[in-house]
């Protein structure tokens, strides 16, 4: 918490992102399932107090949740973690919370005519509804049902019709206070992370988005490459969401892009990213210094107080959390073969 509290959702993502990573490891290698469940159990127990404190359910109990309290970020991400625990053979100790949060998110989507949910009471970023949808899909997947498929389909249709930038063919990254797109250009950090999740929701739509993304956001720098935070030819600000932007390539967009390339079966970019990661592993100290230098030259887009250390692959803990989430991506097993 001390190292991550300066980041947005620094009391949430360091717990739920590794849950996805451990689950993916277990799916890829079932011999690791027991270890993964043990780690996931610790992480969920760390995440629940943060979510409870923010959402403030009745009696301080998430299994008594009445409505989502305009907190799609925390509830959606926690619900993914609960679903992954069950996916790899976890017991039913979290079932009352899992069931209640799932129903609450679904009811919120229905009540808003399937528009994006509020990320927080004061703001809405369309991406934050995607993890909510994924948590519904994961619940259905684990139970072998299709109870939430209609809600998922209706929301994605709304985004295609009402919140897609005609210039890039990608979803807008922010909505105004009235729930309408404010026409901020789609951001690479948003789209890369979104594309890690989208194949589970609508594979054909995900493929369209990915091709548009490559067309507008992919950049090559000699033998290396990565995704930009903004469309090609446009250079705007960097911030804590984007991380440093160096020669047009966004740190968050490219880090999560490792996962989106895997999710989309993009073998060519998977190999490129794999080579870049091997290079970074071979020279962690160099990579750490590069991260520090990038941050200096991109107007300190990482929070003050972030300590760079060679003990972390990316140079800092939050970066490692995000990369673990992305680099471990693996498709879910079929329902009949659920671990």
For residue 319, how many other CB atoms are within 10 A of its CB?
22
In contact, 24 and 34? CB cutoff 8 Å: no
pLDDT of residue 299: 58
Label the pairing between strands 170-171 and 245-246: unpaired
Rounded to whole angstroms, the Cα distance separating 146 from 89 reads 20
pLDDT of residue 100: 98
**What pLDDT tens digit does each residue of the chain (339 aa) get?**
888 888 889 999 999 999 999 999 999 999 999 999 999 999 999 999 999 999 999 999 999 999 999 999 999 999 999 999 999 999 999 999 999 999 999 999 999 999 999 999 988 899 999 999 999 999 999 999 999 999 999 999 999 999 999 999 999 998 765 555 555 789 999 999 999 999 999 999 999 999 999 999 999 888 888 999 999 878 777 777 777 777 788 889 999 999 999 999 999 998 888 888 777 666 655 555 556 655 555 555 667 777 777 788 887 899 899 999 999 999 998 754 444
What domain range is 100 assigned to?
1-162
Q: Within a domain: residue 104?
A: yes
Rounded to whole angstroms, the Cα distance separating 168 from 176 reads 20
pLDDT of residue 67: 94
The tally of domains found in the chain comes to 1
The whole-model pTM stands at 0.91
Q: Within a domain: residue 338?
A: no
Q: Within a domain: residue 255?
A: no
pLDDT of residue 218: 93
pLDDT of residue 262: 95
pLDDT of residue 181: 52
Q: Within a domain: residue 16?
A: yes
Q: Within a domain: residue 59?
A: yes
pLDDT of residue 37: 98
pLDDT of residue 297: 55
Q: Within a domain: residue 305?
A: no
Q: Within a domain: residue 193?
A: no
Q: Within a domain: residue 237?
A: no
Rounded to whole angstroms, the Cα distance separating 77 from 322 reads 14
pLDDT of residue 25: 97
DSSP codes of every residue in 16-74:
HHHHHHHHHHHHH-GGGHHHHHHHHHHHHHHHHHHHHHHH--GGG-GGG--S-TT-HHH
In contact, 308 and 315? CB cutoff 8 Å: yes
**Alpha helices, H only, the chain:** 13-28, 33-55, 72-87, 95-111, 129-143, 149-162, 188-201, 203-217, 251-263, 267-282, 284-297, 317-327
């Amino acid at each position: 918490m001390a190292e991550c509290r300066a980041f947005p959702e620094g009391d949430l993502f360091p717990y739920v992102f590794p849950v996805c990573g451990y689950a993916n490891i277990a799916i890829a290698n079932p011999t690791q399932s027991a270890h993964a469940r043990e780690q996931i159990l610790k992480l969920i127990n760390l995440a629940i107090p943060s979510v409870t404190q923010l959402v403030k359910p009745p009696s301080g109990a998430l299994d008594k949740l009445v409505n989502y309290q305009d907190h799609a970020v925390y509830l959606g991400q926690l619900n993914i973690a609960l679903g992954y625990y069950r996916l790899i053979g976890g017991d039913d100790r979290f079932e009352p919370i899992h069931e209640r949060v799932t129903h609450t998110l679904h009811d919120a989507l229905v009540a808003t005519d399937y528009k994006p949910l509020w990320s927080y009471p004061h703001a809405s970023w369309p991406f934050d509804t995607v993890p909510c949808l994924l948590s519904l899909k994961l619940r259905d997947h684990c139970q072998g049902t299709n109870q939430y498929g209609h809600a998922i389909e209706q929301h994605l249709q709304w985004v295609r019709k009402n919140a897609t930038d005609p210039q890039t063919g990608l979803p807008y990254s922010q909505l105004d206070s009235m729930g309408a797109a404010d026409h901020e250009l789609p951001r690479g950090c948003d789209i890369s992370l979104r594309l890690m999740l989208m194949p589970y929701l609508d594979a054909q739509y995900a493929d369209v988005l990915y091709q548009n993304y490559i067309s507008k956001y992919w950049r090559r720098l000699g033998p290396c490459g990565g995704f930009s935070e903004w469309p090609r030819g446009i250079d705007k600000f960097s911030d804590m969401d984007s991380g440093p932007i160096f020669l047009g390539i966004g740190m968050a967009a490219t880090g999560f892009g490792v996962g989106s390339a895997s999710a989309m079966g993009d073998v060519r970019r998977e190999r490129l990213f794999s080579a870049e990661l091997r290079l970074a592993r071979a020279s962690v100290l160099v990579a750490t210094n590069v991260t520090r230098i990038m941050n200096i030259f991109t107007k300190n887009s990482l929070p003050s107080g972030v300590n760079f250390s060679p003990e972390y692959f990316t140079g800092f803990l939050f970066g490692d959390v995000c990369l673990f989430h992305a680099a471990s991506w693996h498709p879910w097993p079929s329902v009949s073969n659920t671990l």
